[in-house]
Amino acid sequence: METTIMLRDQFANGLKTAMKAGDKRRTSTLRLILAAINDRDIANRGLAKEPVVDEEILAILGKMVRQREESAKAFEEGGRIELAQQEREEIEIIRDFLPKQMSESEVREACRNIIAELGASGLRDMGKCMNALKERYPGAMDFSKASGIVKEMLQ
């Protein structure tokens, strides 16, 4: 729980700094992050759950990056280069708060290790492997790519 407070403090301090510097893009992006976390806190409260923890915050940030990547691609295809650039700027700001992303070879190695550790032998063990990866490497890898790698290794 302690690191969750630290993450939240990082966002709040980053927001103050961006506002003082007059950095409108960073200010609006950090406000979006804080709003997404607050929305999840409210949803959890309705389900009698605790406020979001680190892993959930990292998952929220990962989802925000994926959404912006899709939007940037759509904007580029639609000829709206300035909007695609705006999405990419937001991606960079969000990534400042994510752990360093693992390379494909590091992801493959992590998948191989989890499969061996769990004794996974077929596709029926895929969920178990993915849950272990998500627990061990929150925010550090693209889990949709990892899913494909695990599936490939289990077949």
Average pLDDT, the chain: 88
Query: Which domain range does residue 32 map to?
Result: 2-95
Report the distance separating Cα 52 and Cα 74, nearest Å: 31
**In the numeric block, which tokens belong to residue 24?**
């409108």
pTM: 0.70
Same domain, 110 and 65: no
Same domain, 70 and 11: yes
The pLDDT tens digits of the residues spanning 95-116 come to: 888 888 888 889 899 999 999 9
Among the residue ranges 42-46, 54-58, 105-109, 114-118, the one predicted with the least confidence is 54-58
Is the pLDDT at 149 greater than 70? The verdict is: yes
Q: 86 CB contacts (<8 Å, ≥6 apart)?
A: 25
Same domain, 89 and 108: no
The pLDDT tens digits of the residues spanning 58-87 come to: 888 888 998 999 999 999 999 999 999 999
